[in-house]
Chain A
Amino acid sequence: MNSSERNEASPSSELEENLEVLRQTYFFSGLPLETLKVFAYLCTREKFKKDEYIFKQHEEDGRAFYIISGKAALERQDNDSAKKIRDCAMGEFIGGLTLLGEVRRLFSLKAVEDTVCLVLEREKFTKAMEQFPIIMPRIFKAVAKNIDSWEERFLADRADMCGECMVNLGVSLI
């Protein structure tokens, strides 16, 4: 961050910007503003240079990311060859499940241009949640709904292209 990036006539604080971001993610959007402020406060911003890994496959980094600017590629390494899955662009929230429990990455995320992410660590998230146990069900609901509507969309748009993978459908049944 250099001074020219920050100097505006009446700049809004990073906290306010983080708050705006969190309000737009499915994971946090249902939470009361007071709680959301705490999460916005606990988030940090990280810059990743082009070709740097944001997270790597098999790692258990325990962090969730929101891409504020830049672009990253989701990859999966199978038998020594890395296959690109898709691009993750500005505005995408990745890793809500890692906040809820230990999840080893099944993919790698690599910055394809200089990328700035908002990062929340599971440890901080958990400690904050201990203070607001009453809202945990809202987060579970949001996650469950998201998984369900993902599969619903997938079945509506892509099921016919699935071929042999069809038998493995049903992530929303877990």
Chain B
Amino acid sequence: MEKADIPVVKRSLFSWVFPGNVKLQISLLFIIVVMVFARVLPLEMQKRVVNEAINLRDIDLLLLYCGIYLAAVIFSSALKYLINLLQTLITQRATARMRKALYHHILTLPLGFFRNTQPGSVVNSLVTELAMPGNFVGMAVSAPVTNLLTLLAFAVYLFLLNPLLAAVSFSIYPIVVFLVPVLQRGVNRANRKRVDAARTLSSRIAESVSGIHEVHGNGAYRIENRKYDKLVDRLMKIRIVWSLYRFAVKTSNSFFVSLGPFIVFLLGGYLTIKGQLELGALVAFLSAQERLYDPWKELIEFYQVYQDGSVTYQRTMEFFDAMPEHAIEPEGREAFDLEASVDVKDLSFVTDSGIRLLDGISLSLNPGEHLALVGFSGSGKSTLALCIGQLYKYTSGHVLIGDKEVSDLTKKDMVNNMGFVAQSPFIFEGTIEDNLLYACKAKVNGNGQSGEGLPTLDDIIAVLHQTGIFVDVLRFGMNTILTHDQNKELVDVIIRVRESFQRDFGEELSDYVEFFDENQYLVYSSVAENLIFGTPNKDDFNDANLCNNPYFLSFLKQADLTRPLLSLGADLARQTVDILGNLPPDAVFFEQSPINPDELDEFKILVSKLKRQKLHELSPEHHQKLLELAMRFVPGVHKMVALPALMENLILEGRAMFREKIFNDSPEAITFYDISEYIFSQTILNNIFFGKTKTANPQAQEKINQSIIQLLIEEDLLETIIEIGMYYQVGTKGDKLSGGQQQKLAIARIFLKHPRILIMDEATSALDNTSQTRIQNLLETRWKKKSTVISVVHRLDTIKNYDHVAVMKAGKIAEIGTYDELMARKGMLYELVGKK
């Protein structure tokens, strides 16, 4: 984190100009000075060409001065380019630094801050809004210095030529300097009104669109039109005023600047006629006058960038102007290794709005003791767990871990000693392995780069078993497609497993598996797989290239498949866009879709074309897209379209034709499915089956899993497949995992870290009975007396063996004791258990 002493939100916009850019800014200044000289030089050459070369009729002098003129122009253009380059570099570096520093700051803000902050506004601030201040930083030195120096150089040159004329022509600028800010204030005022009016108009439109049935029902078109038209008129007026101000800035600026040549002509002409000014000097004067306009315009623009940049910067920084509640890293010492006792004394937690969520809580846990927190929703049990875990800052009382006050500890101290499993755990995009090692990497080195101190594969596998996610990871591994060059031995073993599977389970599982049968249409395979019925050995027969491959396209034509497939593709596109057109790209929605989320927009356009055009009128590119879609169609998965019997027969006939054709033309291009060969285009599981699973039914899955695990153990292949499964990509926010899998993964990543104090906030709520019981047993057998556990519990049948049970009500501990004591007392726990 940069500038640790001053928080990023307290830094001024100007503080970004020099730090980290000193060398660049100094180089920029040097180049600017040289460039300004190179800009003035042509003026002097102009004067000399008229006064000396033309006057003396000296061609050599003319060539010399023109040569110098040209060189100066080229040189100053090159320097201008260089200045732009450096300016861009400074802008981008400053923006990147702002983005990083602000993001680092935002991540440390207390959880409370994020309850009132939309993720969208954080994204907008970091991505869009910081661009404008960054722009200012890039220009902060170069723009004013270049333009002021240029103006100054021209001014000095003009004063040297003729002080009187120079003084008169510069007299215009003070007027502009006074006028522009006045007009700019008008622009800003009108702009603010415009934003508000546009917002009102948008909500008006949104309202009438969502209430359209009412408008139609009442025929209230005129009423709605009146309301809308009034707002449009208002916006129109504001926009006119806004535009008038903007043009006024522009026009008054250019008007006053254009007055310059007029004065020069009038006064200069008079002086030249009177012989008090040389003709050459007048030419140079006029030329310099014109050139004053550009630097002046750039200065005005810079003024606007400064205005916009500083307003945006201020607004952004004010928005995030909150402070972390605890220091992140300890200063001048290592992170503590704390004793795992927990002492809570008279603890209270009051929200900003004054609601008392915890009230005078006291309890004490010795190292290795387990506490269950129970009570109705809203009783404060999660809040208590979060306060002990330093995720909330308690407002009074004490929480001591070992003998240290939690509010005085740094985050690093907590992370080193504590593990926390949240109620709705968050899974990050990446592999299963990345997520499993997330907590360990953060603890070990904070940046997750070096592998030292991380758990071994054996540790990981043990934890996968303990948390019950082993079978899921195994399935991910089984669903991996191996490449040709991957592990020859593995491929041989899988063929052996296939033989055992066919022998031992083929019959039993035949209801759940669709075997690859040359004479049957495969409902759980794609149209392409049905046609080719083999693995392509050449790239142009791969799924991605198939509809680009002239050989294959001509085969489709021969087999009378082109038009039926186009029609199938069109039908699929229409139906899928109809259902998924307005849904977000979440994996849940696209699991049963032949269209991928990133292709949806393209298909939306195609479908809208299909409404206006006949299939045969579409472009070849669109035909190709539709064919590709049809080729992906798996009738058993993509339920929005049914495959007609005629089509099924055509494809089956096509399969035989294709085999024959390939056999004659290019037999090496495809390896046809053969029970004694590994199929590289299919997953490991499909290879073992020599077919595909037909069902997602949990009971069927369980049977399949059991048989597969047994076979893999026989071949000593289990660990290898698990290792492959750990590379499974879990999707954005883990959306390719079920809620249960996400929760198991979250528990596994904390178990791997093996913290001294474990806090679980309804950590098993999304798990099935077996997994819950497994984890409860594990806590009781492996963690008792080793780690202190505080568990917010939603299921009372799991709490019998906890050392302490605390029943919470309205932010207080109503009763605390062992399960048996409390049940014998027939108090609140007794009542709660009864109710459950």
Contacts and interface: CB of A to CB of B under 8 A. Distances in A.
A92 interface: no
Contacts of A18: 639
Highest count of chain A CB atoms <10 Å: which of B523, B582, B645, B738:
B645
Contacts of B586: 127
Contacts of A37: 578-579
B604 to A, nearest CB: 15
Contacts of B699: 52-53
Contacts of A11: 642-645
How many chain B residues sit at the interface, stated as a range, is 35 or more
Contacts of B588: 42, 123-124, 127
A38 B765 contact: no
A7 B648 contact: yes
Nearest to A1: B523
Interface in B585-639: 586, 588-589, 592, 635-636, 639
B768 interface: yes
Given A58-B769, A123-B738, A6 B696 contact: no
Highest count of chain B CB atoms <10 Å: which of A9, A11, A15, A46:
A15
A10 B641 CA distance: 11
B695 interface: yes
A13 interface: yes
Nearest to B512: A47
A83 to B, nearest CB: 21
B694 interface: yes
Interface string B682-693: 000000000000
Nearest to B770: A59
B697 interface: yes
A159 to B, nearest CB: 25
Given A3-B521, A47-B695, A41 B768 contact: no
Given A44-B696, A60-B769, A123-B739, A3 B583 contact: no
Contacts of B695: 46-47
Given A1-B694, A123-B588, A41 B645 contact: no
A32 to B, nearest CB: 11
Instruction: Give the interface SS of chain B, mostly helix, strand, loop or mixed.
Output: loop
A38 B591 CA distance: 13
Contacts of B641: 13, 15
B645 A7 contact: yes
Contact of A3 (B523, B589, B697): B523
A81 interface: no
Nearest to A45: B639
Interface string A70-87: 000000000000000000
B589 A127 contact: yes
A38 B579 contact: yes
Contacts of A15: 575, 579, 639-641
Interface in A77-129: 102, 123-124, 127-128
Contact of A14 (B589, B639, B698, B765): B639
Given A37-B578, A46-B695, A47-B697, A12 B642 contact: yes
B768 A60 contact: yes
A8 interface: yes
Contacts of A168: none
B575 A1 contact: no
Contacts of A123: 588, 738-739
Nearest to B695: A46
A13 B642 contact: yes
B120 interface: no
Nearest to B587: A127
Interface in B640-667: 640-645, 648
Nearest to B735: A127
Interface string B762-786: 0001001100000000000000000
Nearest to A44: B696
A7 B644 CA distance: 6
Nearest to A123: B739
Interface in A1-32: 1, 3, 6-15, 18
A16 to B, nearest CB: 8
Contacts of A61: 698, 768
B584 interface: yes
B738 A41 contact: no
Contacts of B738: 123
Nearest to A53: B699
Nearest to B586: A127
Contacts of A128: 583, 589
B200 interface: no
B516 to A, nearest CB: 15
A58 B697 CA distance: 19
Interface in B182-208: none
Contacts of B523: 1, 3, 6
Interface in B662-716: 694-699
Contacts of A102: 765
Contact of A41 (B582, B639, B644, B769): B639
Nearest to A43: B639
Contacts of A3: 520-521, 523, 645, 648
B768 A14 contact: no
Contact of B584 (A7, A59, A131): A131
A10 B644 contact: yes
B437 to A, nearest CB: 26
B768 A131 contact: no
A91 B241 CA distance: 66
A60 B586 CA distance: 24
A47 B699 CA distance: 11
A14 to B, nearest CB: 4
Nearest to B699: A52
Given A9-B645, A53-B699, A127-B586, 8 more contacts: A1-B694, A3-B648, A11-B644, A13-B641, A13-B642, A15-B639, A47-B697, A128-B589
Q: 10 nearest interchain CB pairs?
A: A7-B645, A14-B639, A11-B642, A13-B642, A15-B640, A46-B697, A41-B579, A127-B588, A15-B639, A13-B641
Interface of B: 511, 520-521, 523, 575, 578-580, 582-584, 586, 588-589, 592, 635-636, 639-645, 648, 694-699, 738-739, 765, 768-769
9 contacts: A7-B644, A41-B639, A41-B640, A46-B697, A58-B769, A59-B768, A60-B769, A61-B698, A124-B588
